[in-house]
Structure 1
Amino acid sequence: MVSPADSTRETGTTFLPKFDEKGLLSAVVQDVETGRILMVAFMDAEAIEATQETGIAHFHSRSRGKLWKKGETSGNVLRVEEILVDCDQDALVLRCRPAGPTCHTGATSCFYRKLEKGVLQPVKP
């Protein structure tokens, strides 16, 4: 049986993000023009708020334990065009317009390799 709180979260119009025990939820970043998945990161309440206020993707850096504006040093920011929320509000898809390569390696996407028969192979652009 679905509780009233779950029903509100799953079918209502109120944004009620469902964070994990560390206060985080997953965020998939997708290129709004190509549909290509660019990266996966984590967001906390502060990152969601900063993203909505600025229109630039912000995340929670687990390694640094703080707010992280994507592209703050490289200039390769992600301009958020749309935020999709999954059914139970514990994951987001940020449909973005990247200002340059998304991956810290300089690749367009962090998903630049595929697994084939146990070996990583480059993804063709």
Structure 2
Amino acid sequence: MLTTKWANLPEWLPLPPEGLIPAVIQDASSGAVLMLITLNQEALGRIAATGLVHYYHPRKRKVVQKGESSGHSQEVLEIRLNCTGDQLLLRVTPWGGACERGYQSCFFRRLNADGWETADPRVFDPEEVYPEFAFSH
């Protein structure tokens, strides 16, 4: 993993007063935007220690590793900071789909004149990966 490369990440990135920073997750190979996540100090520390995407999950109120239950982890290849220092871009190698609904990206819906449509194909069956969850469309 990239533990040496990111060892000082928590010290290099002072968080805003609220303690959270948004981060866009981008597939480094395709350029596709996969997710928008929130990071806190603990998540930054876990990224530094493992080289894998971790984020603060607001509904669970805890830090989780992306792919912890599905196996669809994301290896961090590059971290970029925006011009105002309050947003991150994490360029990753994804192993499997990013979306818990079965899509490569969490941004699989597109707005058209009639409303929202599914713009991308599913890459896995969420009921097979997450049998404990019932998904509605």
- Same-fold call, TM > 0.5? yes
Q: For 1:17, what is the secondary structure of its paired residue?
A: coil
Q: How does 1:99-110 map to 2 (within 5 A)?
A: 99-110=95-106
Q: For 1:50, what is the secondary structure of its paired residue?
A: helix
**Identity of matched residues, %:** 37
Q: How does 1:79-98 map to 2 (within 5 A)?
A: 79-98=75-94
Q: 1:118 to 1:45 in 2, by over 3 A?
A: farther
Instruction: Return the alpha-carbon distance in structure 2 between the equivalents of residues 37 and 20 of structure 1.
Output: 27
Corresponding residue for residue 11 of structure 1: none
Residues 15 and 41, structure 2, Cα contact 8 Å, conserved in 1: no
The unaligned stretches of length 5 or more in structure 2 are 1-10, 122-137
CA RMSD of aligned residues (A): 1.6
Please list every run of at least 4 consecutive aligned residues from structure 1 whose deviation after the TM superposition is greater than 3 angstroms: none
For this pair of structures, how many residues does the alignment match?
A: 111
Match of 2:72 among 76, 80, 94: 76
Higher RCO structure (Cα 8 Å, ≥6 apart): 1
| Structure-2-length-normalised TM-score | 0.75
Residues 100 and 108, structure 1, Cα contact 8 Å, conserved in 2: yes
